[in-house]
Amino acid sequence: MNYKMIFKVLGYLLLIIAVSMIPPFLISLFKEQYDMIAFAISIVLTFSIGFILTRIKLENTNTKIKAKEGLVIVTLGWIFASIFGALPFYISGSIPSYVDAFFETVSGFTTTGATIINDIEVLPMGILFWRSFTHWIGGMGILVVAVAVLPMMGAGGFHVFKAESPGPIADKIVPRIKDTAKILYATYIIISILEFILLLFGGMTPFESIVHTFGTLGTGGFSTRNGSIGAFNSSYIFIVISIFMIMSGANFSLYYDLYKGKWRDVIKNSELKLYLSIIAISVFLITLDTNFHLYHNLFNAFKHSLFQVSSIITTTGYTTFDYEKWSSFSKSILFLLMFVGGSAGSTGGSIKVIRILALLKLVKRELTKIIHPRAIVSVKFGNKPVSEDTLLNISSFFMLYMLIFILGTVIISFENISFISAASAVAATLGNIGPGFEFVGPTHTYSNFSDFSKILLSFLMLLGRLELFTVIALLTPKFWKREL
């Protein structure tokens, strides 16, 4: 294991985190708010430790990043980012408990959006900006920035990119992984700018527009209002954010295909078709149900249904209405959507549509084999056959995901809360969604959980964002054995 390389890369990551704290510091400085000193201390401390780590000298014969190093860099990178990213919350006193500050930061970087803050509107602007900026950074990936800007990553950057990328397959858009990272971030920035401008037209202030753009594109869900997006009471804003949540839950490589004129490839993409179909069917069913039982106004039923379905399936977690008031039928659909998530290569979390599609195709193949025992049936995405190793990985991921969900629910149940509350809390953190039902519903926070449960839920958020295997591999003794 090349520990020197690992800590050197982590040093550069801390420098990136320190630089990322400068915008909220400048906002606090301009507004002369009390969090200004906290950001200054956090920047100096994070930058200093990062700088020290970057001074580690590497041996000329040992500068490559292998698969093992990639896993360690990504896992420790997210932990380091959360530890240091929590400093402004804690030092400023905005979140007096460091466990709570760590929970909030993990929730931010993993784009979960679960919060322990009961009154968001009393927080200073710098803290609010940093809180949502962590969504935007974590949405595309903390280490993707390092892959894009650090020459030292080289070809080994693919191992880092692969370990951090959401989905079972980490495809390179172009041959060089560094250029792929740049294209993804360029796409991310362009779409962010577009949403920011459209939200300005909806009556949001520039600060509100940029904060909610961070929350939407990163599919995180932190807001500046206690009532989330519903506080703006604007159909225009509801629809705009719904559209951009859906866009953020799609594979970002498809936007590059559109740019290159590959319209047919995008239209024929089986994952995209299933993703949009699930959204359309869910919106249709919930619209009919809520219109009959609650709204008695088709447009109101549609806009709230579209928004909440888009928010849950993309794991964003914004709300326009207390969906706890919906019928059991509509809430059941939302709960099931928690286990679907966005597409591979998106900023969304949970299991991912591509895995759901693969599992459906596997079921179809097994049924075909029962009917035609001698038939040789391959699973394909488009016209490309999927390898048995990939299918095994997807099946293993699903089983492990459900096992962690069950164990997590049992452990959280010791908080003496209802089964629905415990199950939705685990589903919402493991799937990086944020709000759940009952005890953790859209009008509640995670503040009443014990410190133990908050740490456990923080671990689940990291597990979900890093797709289980990246973190769990490090917990096995065999991983750390020296290679012969």
The predicted-structure confidence for 389-424, as pLDDT tens digits, reads as follows 888 888 999 999 999 999 999 999 999 999 999 999
pLDDT tens string 119-143: 999 999 999 999 999 999 988 877 6
Q: Residue 483 region, left (φ>0) first, then alpha (ψ -120 to 50), else beta?
A: beta
Arithmetic mean of pLDDT over the chain? 88
List residues forming the annotated binding site for K(+).
Answer: 111-112, 220, 315-316, 432
Confidence at residue 484, expressed as pLDDT on a 0 to 100 scale: 43
Mean pLDDT, range 55-65, rounded to an integer: 71
Confidence at residue 323, expressed as pLDDT on a 0 to 100 scale: 92
Looking at residue 381, the DSSP 8-state letter turns out to be E
**Could you identify the residue written with the tokens 């859209």?**
442
Bridge partners for 381 per DSSP: 384
- The answer to whether 296 and 287 have CB atoms below 8 angstroms apart is no
Confidence at residue 139, expressed as pLDDT on a 0 to 100 scale: 86
User: Band of the pLDDT at 223, cuts 50, 70, 90?
Assistant: very high
pLDDT tens string 47-59: 999 999 988 887 7
Q: CA 107 to CA 126: how far, in whole Å?
A: 18
List residues forming the annotated binding site.
Answer: 111-112, 220, 315-316, 432
pTM equals 0.91
Confidence at residue 163, expressed as pLDDT on a 0 to 100 scale: 60
Confidence at residue 376, expressed as pLDDT on a 0 to 100 scale: 76
Cβ-based burial of 314 (10 A; exposed 0-12, middle 13-18, buried ≥19): buried
